[in-house]
Structure formats: structure tokens, C-alpha cells
Structure 1
Amino acid sequence: MKKNLITLQFSIHPMTNNFIEIIKGALQGVDTSNVTMSTDDVASTMIGEQEAVFDAVKAMIIHASKSGTHIAFNGTFSSGCPSVVHEFHEPSEQKFRINQESYAPFQQYVSAKFNLYPLGQPDYMDSIGSEISRLKNSDLYNATSKNGSGLHGDVHPVFLFLEDSFSSVQSHVIMTVNMSVNSPSHKNV
């Protein structure tokens, strides 16, 4: 099994009547050749190397947000699940962050919350506490969040923080992320 093979199950929810166009545009407008992807009537699932998964989902969120529509994103990242190996179809040529050139110049304010669940670690609370402390000492910390896991700012440093938090745990880990983009409540930000 590849060391950093991960799974992401996610949903993008545009708050508009033309949500189908925005979702399909986000799914089709991103190069997903480095991940194995499937979509059903509830969510989409990506399997791949960590860098490739974070690259593809970040590109999808940015692509969907270009519509100016309020977008809600819900995702569950997981690492260390042995069943994933059988579902992953490794690309013939692995290039990480293949979407980065297309989204690098784009700036977008996002607000998010995350929860980190290190599994099988007796000191799991130390791992969680360390990431919450790191967030609170960063410019991304959203002090209005009630549980300490709120972050906000430009999409690029927010995703960098999330990926760093996810990779900080060296065992089986689950991370949930809820994100809001183009929210009417962001008008004064």
C-alpha cells in the first residue's frame, strides 16, 4: 500500500437553482487523472495520493466558487484504511498538484471548521490539542467558532493548514471539513 494513499468522500452544495450546472462544472472542470473518482446521488469519492486528492478537491471548490454562488462543502478525509488499495487505479504517470497552475492566481475567502480523529492512538487528545493550538496561533484562526476548530481566510493557506493537520497524524486518521464560500455573511470580511 502506498504510504499516503487517502480517501475523500465529499459533497458540494451550491445555494442556487442551477446547482446541477455548478456541480457538474466543478467535477468536469478539474483534472482528476491522478485520482480514482466515483459519484453517486449523495456524494463523490476520491482515492489517491494525498497531494493529488487535496489538489483536485481544492480545484473543485475554487472552480465552483467562481460562479459567485454561495457554496457549502462537506468532506471526510481518511488515511490508513486497507480497503482503499483495491479501489485505487494508479495513473501511468503520477504528477502531483496538476491543477495548481490553474488555481494558483485565484484568491477566494473561505470559512471552515474541521475535526481531526486520530484512530488507534492512546494519546489522540494530544494530537488534536496540538493542531488546535497551532491553529489558534495562526492568522487563520476564527475566534467566533465555538469549539476552537474554526478557520478562515484565503483558500490557499486554509487548504495548506488542513492538509498539514491531516498529515500530522502518522496512523489511521479521519478529518471532517465543513466549508462555506461566497456566503452572504462574508460580505463584511
Structure 2
Amino acid sequence: MQCGLSPIVGFRFSLHPMTNDFISVIKGALQETDTSNVWMHTDDVSTVIRGKQVHVFNVAKALTLHAAKTGEHVALSGTFSAGCPGDTSGDAYLDKGDNVANTDTTKQYVSSQFALYPMNNPNYMDVIYREVERAKELGVFNESMHYASGIHGDIHDVFAFYEETFTHARSEEHKHLVMTVSMSINSPSHGGL
């Protein structure tokens, strides 16, 4: 992370398994994921994880992967945020090292969309275009669309792109960044990709 930026990153998300047994998919993913490096709270609508960027993205990917490994069609919708004024909950987790706790390398196709909101940055479109170009260079860009950009590929490549984008879209001058992400995994419409 760039020097001087607020070290707290948060991710509020909802996981939606397309099965009558959705409770066991969600609880199973939570049990299989090591969340010891992040502050976490779940309510009746969503879950929020907070802490150092490296751990927030690691836990987000692990939770998604463990839910996907059930083979059920899973949708995830969430918002990453950093630099929010007054953001302090989870600061007790900032003393964690950078070694990630979740290291499952199982391959898993993900189709996703993201939207980037560099807050208070008058050149926000330049930032967005730059990150879309990065996606193309990394081979994870899928398509342009209204209000979002399509990103797809193996879950590890997709989350690596999102984490890189989250780092590069912030600056010392423009610290507040919001990024929304929607994912679909194991959908019949993926056509065996």
C-alpha cells in the first residue's frame, strides 16, 4: 500500500448460494476460512471484514472460493472501501504481518463485474480507463458495459487484479476509494468455461 494512505480497508458483501441448502454453504465457507487476520461482523443482510488490505482481499477470496467449491451456483455482491473519513473499527488488526492465512490454490472460474469510484478525484475517468487497460493486459477483461466492466477468469487472477486495482486507483491526494464487485460462479450460463 502506498505510504501515508489509511491502512484500513473494508469489504461489505452478501453471498447468495442458489440452493435450498444456502445456510450450510455460507456457514461452511465461513468455517473453512481463516478470518483471524481481519475484524468481521455478520448481520441478517451482509458481512463486513476490515483490516489490512492484503488480509481483507485474502479472506474475501477464500470465502468465495470455499462457497464455490460446493459446486452450487453462487453469487456474491460487495463493496470494497478505503480512506473513509473516521474509519477506525478494525484498527486492532493493523499490527498483523503480511503473511496471508488462506492459501488454497484450487482453480475456479469466476465471471464478475466491477465499478471503480475514486472519490473526490476530478480525473476519475482517467483512473478507471487505466485500470480497464490493466485488466486487458492481464487477460481478465471480459467486456465493456453500462455502469461496470466485465472481469473473468480463474478466481486467483480475478482477485489479484482487483487488489492491484485497489492499490493503483488510490493516491496520497485522493485517498478515499470505493469499488463494487459482483460475481457469478458455477452458473449454468457460463457454458462450461
Is the 1:7–1:46 Cα contact (8 Å) retained in structure 2?
Answer: yes
Structure 1 position 184 matched with structure 2 position 183: no
Whole-angstrom distance in 1 between the partners of 2:76 and 2:46: 11
Contact 1:62 1:108 in 2 (8 A): yes
Do structure 1's residue 173 and structure 2's residue 180 form an aligned pair? no
Asked whether the equivalents of residues 132 and 141 of structure 2 are also in contact (C-alpha less than 8 Å), the reply is no
- Picking from 55, 59, 63, the partner of 2:58 is 55
User: How many corresponding residue pairs?
Assistant: 185
Kindly indicate whether the alpha-carbon contact (under 8 Å) linking 1:140 and 1:151 is maintained by their aligned counterparts in 2. yes
SS of residue in 1 equivalent to 2:142: coil
CA contact (8 A) 1:11 1:75 kept: yes
Letter of the 2:60 partner, please give it.
V
Correspondences of 1:4-153 after superposition (within 5 Å): 4-90=7-93, 93-100=96-103, 103-104=104-105, 106-143=106-143, 145-147=144-146, 149-153=149-153
Distance 1:55 1:149 in 2: 22
Structure 2 residues not aligned, in runs of 5+: none
- Identity rate of aligned residues, in percent? 46
Shift of 1:159: 0.6
Give distance in 2, aligned partners of 1:67 and 1:54. 21
2:20 counterpart letter in structure 1: N
TM-score of the aligned structures, taking structure 2 as reference length: 0.89
Query: Partners in 1 of 2:60 and 2:182 — Cα distance?
Result: 13
Whole-angstrom CA distance in 1 between matches of 2:47 and 2:38? 12
Greater than 4 Å deviation, 4+ residue runs: none
* Amino acid aligned to 2:150: G
Shift of 1:65: 0.6
Q: Secondary structure at the match of 2:145?
A: coil
CA distance in 2, matches of 1:29, 1:81: 30
TM value normalised by structure 1: 0.91
Q: Is the 8 A contact 1:33 1:91 kept in 2?
A: no
Shift of 1:135: 1.9
Structure 1, 1-10 or 16-25: larger mean CA deviation: 1-10
Aligned equivalents of 1:92, 1:127: Cα separation in 2 = 30
SS in 2 for 1:133: helix
Distance 1:15 1:164, change over 3 A: same
